[in-house]
Each structure stands twice: as structure tokens, then as C-alpha cells.
Structure 1
């Protein structure tokens, strides 16, 4: 969402999927160049593409309806999925002599908020690709009905990210949301009612990124820029390096030094933000203080080196995110319940309710005074959402991600999350997120999970059947991560 919303807006309209084969064809033609030039993605490898080819054969023969449930560590993922369908699978099909009707495509489910910050043209483009939007923070009956209809009767299979949002970690799967499973059972229900025999499946797809050559120089350059933005002069004492090298897998002096600087930057930013929320929003951080009192040895160890688990930093981050969300929740009069993801989505919807006014169908007909008051509410709501935006990039940060496996990929992912934070604090857009080096992507097609085989269980206990299948998707995506 842009930072400069100062006026109330008309209600958010549903963007209906309006598939246009010409738009799809142009996008397919331009995609390889875009991925190399803009995304710096140079290689794509796919494990078990035959599984997906067989499913498309069955789909086109009227034997199955299925959903592609893909991992979502990065905003690059939809491009990889589109390349998989429009380029990779047709090539494999030709090589294996498999005849499939063109095009191999999918109806993607996307967040309705994307066109708000990326531009209205993105909504137009997604619509012409046959994609359908969903509002994540409310019961979006119109969006759900569209997705349900596409799952049951769409020209192509459905595709969605079951984690709901990006988490910035190739090797951590966020909690899978139950929405896509519910859509699967609704599809099975609709088929039964219509007397149709297609089998309903959900296909987990793993996505994982690696650098083709390790970009340590670019990573250190970005780290230096962030240190400068934060007003931090890096200082890594010899005792710290010795401690890191003797207590962790970072035996290389250069990597140990970068790691300590990364920790220093994180600690510095945490201190700045804690002071900010304590001074101006009267937030307390008693949970961190209690942790320090209960575990003084850990705090002391952090002071002279780096704990293998970085438990202290993780605890401070959790407390800081909780404080930031409380500030926004207090303004919107929302209870602090659920995990961080749930709280972020609830806040987002509360902000949208004040910006995109359902109760003001004819905003242009308001008196100047009434319009001024509506604008003031919209501007304040947008400002309060800033606290939530600060949090949503860090919901999957564990504090252990780098040190438990200190690869350049994990270093980079963590540093880029800090870059997101600094960009937001500076009031700049995150569209120009740095690309540290050329990457390859590893995609893995998982074994299809049958919704139809669980139909009887769903009729007996809907909540439990949804929970069980959601957990199976979670485990399948986690098993596909290459450590």
C-alpha cells in the first residue's frame, strides 16, 4: 500500500477474472527476458515434472480437478510458477511425446491488496491472465465464490500459495492456512451435487532459491550501506571473532566477521525501535527484561560473542513486534488475539474499512466538510497501518536461521529482511529491493493429496478433516526443502 494515502477512497471493487489468451501469450513470450533482466533468475530446475504432466492430461480428459499449492518464500515465486506452466512443462511434454492441449495454464489466486501498491494495471493484467483476487482479512464471499467456481468449472486448474504471504525464507515454511483446503472440499461437494466423477486433488510444490556464485562481496556492500543508514560504526573485537569461531560452524574469519556485524546491526535496530515505541507509544518490554533476568548467562554470552541460537535477539524481536501491533490494535480498537499473521491481516482489514469506505458509495457527493473528515480518517488509518507493515516481514524470523546453517543464502535472506525494515523506516518503497547475485530456483512437484478420498471424513467432521489435510500439506512442503 502506498505511503501517501491522504484521501478516503470508494469501496474496493472485485476484479473479475477475464481470461485473454493474447495477454497470456504475450506474457509467456516476455517472461524469460523479464526473469533474467529484472529478477536475475538464470536457471530453473524441476523435480518430478512428469507428475504434473500426468495431472494435466487427466484434467484435460475431464478426470480430475486440482489445485497447485506452491511455496511462497519470495515475490518471485509467481513468475517461477508461470514459467513452469508456460515454458517448462510444454518443453518436457514435447520431449516425451505427450500431447497436451495448449495452453498449459492455471487460474491464480492473488491478494487483492497487490494492485493497491503495485498499481491498477497489475489488477488488469492479473484479470486477463484468468486470476482471481481474495481479501485476506475478512470473509470475502465474492472472492471465495469466484475461486470456488474456478476450482469446479474453470478452464484451467487453480493455483494458490497456502502460506498466504511471503516469509523471506527459502528453508522455512510458514503455517499453511486452511483456506485452500476448504476450497478443495467445496469443489468436491459441488462435483457430488452435480453428479460429476472428477477426482479432486491438491498438489504441493516446493520452491527454493540458491545463488549460482556466492555473492559475499555484494552482501558485505549492502551490509555496509545498512550500517551507514542506521548510524552504526561496525566494530568486531578479536574476542568476538574467537568466540564465534570456537562455538559455531563459522570457522572462516571473514564469514564470522560478517555474521557478527549482522548481529550488531540487528541489535542496534532493535534498540532504536524499542526506544521509539517506549518513548512515543508508552510500550513496555517487560517480557524481555524477565528473560534477561532469568537467563543472565545467555545475555552475558551475547555481549562477548554470539549465541548459537541467538535466543536473546529472537526474544527481543518477538516483544518488539507485539508492541508494534498493539499500537495499531489500540488505535483500531481490535483485540490482540491469534498469531502475528492473523493479527496483521485483521489490522489490514480494519485499515481498509476506514480507507475504502463501504458506507460512502458516492464520495464525490459529500459536502466539503464531510469529505475532509473522511479524508482525515483515511490518512490516520494509513499511518497506523505502518506499524503492521513493519511487522509482517518478520513473522517467520526465528533468530536461529543463519547460525544453524550459515550459508550465503541464509545470510542474504536475513539481511534483505533488515533492508526491508530500514527502507520502511526511511519512508521509501521496497520495489527496488537489491538483487545480490544471479540465482537458480529448484522446484519440486510433490505427490498429489486427494481431497476426494477424504470426502467421507469431511462429512463426518468438517473441522477435523480440514485440519488434517492442512497439516499434510504443511508436512509435504517441509519435506521438499533441500537442506
Structure 2
């Protein structure tokens, strides 16, 4: 995620074509265990592998076209998915005598912004592994056309994170974007046009990151102390709170309120925003902490409106929709295809425009950090995993406001990456419904995929 202010207008963003290179695949496969350990992922566990291995064998036999729809709760998801495809599935296939040829791999959609904040080398690696970049805030016809072609004709399945972005919550599923359903039905269209009999199948893949040691609270308490210092809070609490678990939650709640207050003060003083201390909002009245939930929602609205007003954008749609719209508007002012035609004065103003756009996009980035935060996530289930997720969100938001990369926040402790392969969805069986009512079929497919990914969360946590 970007953390530095752009100072100058840049050349227009170019599409980075996928260019799969087997030699790089083999190299990254060799270093993958070290990359996982660097992310404090001790091991990868998966269930439902045999069925997925069988589907991959059918894909190689040109009997099905596959979309792997994986949960994306954190930035480690691509590494975990790579481990699943490159190591776990081939091993299971050999043990079960499933005829699966090497290499087992997938092409994948990724956010075009990743090479911007992670560097051109990252973009080069993603390209050479077969990645397809997409600009999420607009109709990216080149990316969609490429993804559609690879889904129909590619040598590997297509992996997509239907949530569109990370939410840093293993046990909360963000709303799914309908694009994955549309791609699946487009694939049905293209196969029918070519008189091909392959079935189009979507495989839901759940993903969570529980701690290895569920009783090791040292790292959690240490991070609590660090965040208290960042916000000038004393670690002392009223002596009446003597239970360790209650004291820990009281510290977390106080941190959350202090962060809210700090950001509210910023928007009042820097942008003259009015934050009503007691607006009537029946939607939050039944929550565990209605005041916190209300204030957080209000802060998100204020931050988005500061960006939207600058770009003359409407305040409509979901938080994700609004964030993507703001991002694209900012990119349109920063990355331009007319720089060579500008006079020196116009170029200076273009740089000024780009700097202002970058600053305004920062408000959207702040909202992204807290997009899935509810205020009751830990209270409902005060596990070490939920504490870690919420505290990491806070730590990354603070790092970002300080101009540091959010990814610089150290991982708390050793984790397990748990994958659950859900029941596949045969999209071809729904193709007739799609031909009769496209919108309804897309909505129903998106709903069913949502339910199956939700089931993966429920199964893993019970």
C-alpha cells in the first residue's frame, strides 16, 4: 500500500502483459519456504485437497475450465496459495494416484497498484509468473479481455480474490465483487461459441491464519504497550479491573477510542469537518458499543467525503466502491499520457495537481485500514487471533500516518495458514439461467459463492 506522497505527475500506467516463465516459477518455488518463514507462517494446512487435485487433473485433460476463488484476508495469501498449488496438491495427487502433470500453477488477477507501491521488480515477477494486472476503479477492458482469454484458453486455472482487497480479518468476509461471476459466464459464452464441451467450475477456497500457540499472549501485550506509547496513553488502569483478560480488553477499547478521538480532532482542525457527537443512527443502536460503531462509521464518511469533494465524485455505493472510485480519480491525475505535450508552466501545475491528488487519496487509504472494523469483533470472541488482527490494523494505520510502509509492522508470532477447499460450483449448470436473465444469474452466483466462503469460516472456527 502506498505510504509516500507523490511529488510529480507520472507517465500513464501501462498494462503489464502476463508472460509466464517456467524458470522463474521454479526459482520462486525453491525460495517459497523461506518467504513463508519470513512471514512467520510455520506451516500450511489444507482440507479438501483430493477433490481439487481431481479437478486440476480434469482441467489438464481439457474437461473443465477452473476459477480458484480464494479468500484474501492478508497480503500473505498469494504465498499460501502458491504453496497449495506447487507443493501440497502435487504431493496429495501422487499419494492418491491422481494423474496430475507438472507444473501445477495458476494465473491470477492482481491489483495494478501493487507495482506502484511494491516496486517495478515486483511487477516484473508477477508478470513472469503469469499475473494479470487490473485497475479496480474503472472498466479495465484490456485486463478483462486478457483474463477472459486466459480463462478460456490458458494452460493454467485462473485465481481470483473475489473480495477485491484484504480486510485483515480471518473471520469476516468482505462483500464479493460480481466480476468473478461475470467472467465465469463469459467463459461459458466463449466455450459455447467454439462448440467446446468443457464445464466451467468455480472452486471456493477459505483461508485463515490462527496462532500456533493460543496461550502465548506476550506478543499481544507487548504490542498493546507499544501502541499506548504511540498515543501517549498510560498502561495503568483502574485497580478495580483486576482480571487479566478484562484488563487486556479495557486497554484495547481505550486504544480504539483514543485513535478515534485523534483522527476526529484532525478532521475538525485540518478540514473543518463537523462530527456530530450524538447523531441518531438506529442501524448501530443494537451493537455492543453503539457509540464506538457510530463514531467509526462517521469518521469513515468524513474521510471519504474529503477525498470525494476534491475529485468531484458522488458519495454513493459501498465503501469498497467509493475507495476504488477515489483511487482511479487520483491515478487519472497522477499518471498522465499528455506530459510530453505540456509547457513548463502546465507541467508544474500538473505536478501540483498530482501532489494534491496523492494527499487526497491518503484519506481513502485511511478508510481502507478500518473498512472492516466493527468495534465488537474482539468483544464477541476475545481470542488471541482476533486481538492480533485488530492490533495489527491499528499498528499499520499508525505506521502509515507516520510515512512508513504498513508492511513494516512486524508479524506478532508463528501462525498456521489454514486452507479449506469448499464445494465446487458448476457454472455451466447455470448457463441457461444466465441466458434468460443475466443480472439475476450473476447475483445468484455471487450469493452462492459468498455462502460457501462463509461456510469455510464457520467450519474452521467451530
Sort the TM-score into its range (normalised by shorter chain). over 0.9
1:225 matched to 2:226? The reply is: yes
| Structure 2 gap segments, 5+ residues each | none
Aligned to 2:325: 346
Q: How many residue pairs were aligned?
A: 456
Provide, for residues 85-124 of structure 1, a one-character-per-residue CA deviation record: whole Å limited to 9, x for no partner. 0011111112222221110000011000000000011111
Q: Which of 252, 265, 269 is the equivalent residue of 1:262? A: 252
Alignment of 1:95-244 (within 5 A): 95-214=95-214, 215-239=216-240, 241=241
Partner Cα separation in structure 2 for residue 199 and residue 266 of structure 1: 49
**In structure 2, what is the Cα distance between the partners aligned to 1:437 and 1:406?**
17
Is 1:319 equivalent to 2:309 in the alignment?
Answer: no
- Distance apart, 1:368 and its partner CA: 2.0
Pairwise CA distance, 1:291: 4.2
Contact 1:313–1:399 (CA under 8 A) maintained in structure 2: yes
1:476 and 1:59 map into 2 onto residues whose CA distance is: 22
Match of 2:314 among 317, 320, 335: 335
Map of 1:6 onto structure 2: 7
Hey, what's the Cα distance between the residues in 1 that align with 2:39 and 2:403? 23
Structure 1 residue 455 and structure 2 residue 431: aligned?
yes
TM-score of the two chains, using structure 2 as the length reference: 0.96
1:432 aligns with 2:405: no
Cα displacement string for residues 422-471 of structure 1 (whole angstroms, at most 9, x for unaligned residues): 11222221121221100011101111101101101001110000000000
Per the alignment, residue 414 of structure 1 pairs with 390
Task: Determine helix, strand or coil for the equivalent of 2:145.
Answer: helix
Cα distance in 1, alignment partners of residues 403 and 26 from structure 2 = 37
- Cα deviation, 1:390-444, whole Å, max 9, x if unaligned, reads 0012111121110111100000100111112111222221121221100011101
2:364 pairs, out of 383, 388, 400, with: 388
Tell me, yes or no, if the aligned pair for 1:24 and 1:129 is still in contact at 8 Å: yes
Q: What's the counterpart of residue 266 of structure 2?
A: 276
Shift of 1:234: 3.1
C-alpha distance in structure 2 between counterparts of 1:364 and 1:308, whole Å: 55
Q: Distance in 2 between matches of 1:132 and 1:432?
A: 26
| Cα deviation digits, residues 354-387 of structure 1 (max 9, x gap) | 00114x1xx2453322211111111110011110
> In the alignment, is the contact (CA less than 8 A) between 1:308 and 1:404 conserved in 2?
no
CA contact (8 A) 1:308 1:403 kept: no
Say if 2:278 is the partner of 1:289.
yes
Q: Secondary structure at the match of 1:403?
A: helix
Whole-Å Cα distance in 1 between the matches of residues 143 and 68 of structure 2?
18
Alignment match, 2:36: 35
Q: Structure 1 CA distance, aligned partners of 2:88 and 2:246?
A: 40
CA displacement 1:15-52 (0-9 Å, x = unmatched): 0000100000101111012111x111111111010111
Q: How far did 1:308 drift?
A: 8.1
CA RMSD of aligned residues (A): 1.6
The aligned residue for residue 304 of structure 1 is none
Question: Gaps spanning 5+ residues in structure 1: where?
Answer: 243-252, 299-306
SS state of the match for residue 336, structure 2? coil
**Distance in 1 between the 2:436 and 2:98 partners?**
40
SS of 2:52 mapped into structure 1: helix
Report the secondary structure of 1:290's partner residue.
Answer: coil
Contact 1:53 1:89 in 2 (8 A): yes
Whether the 8 Å CA contact 2:287–2:293 is kept in 1: the answer is no
Confirm whether residue 423 of structure 1 aligns to residue 424 of structure 2.
no
Cα distance in 2 for partners of 1:57, 1:111 equals 29
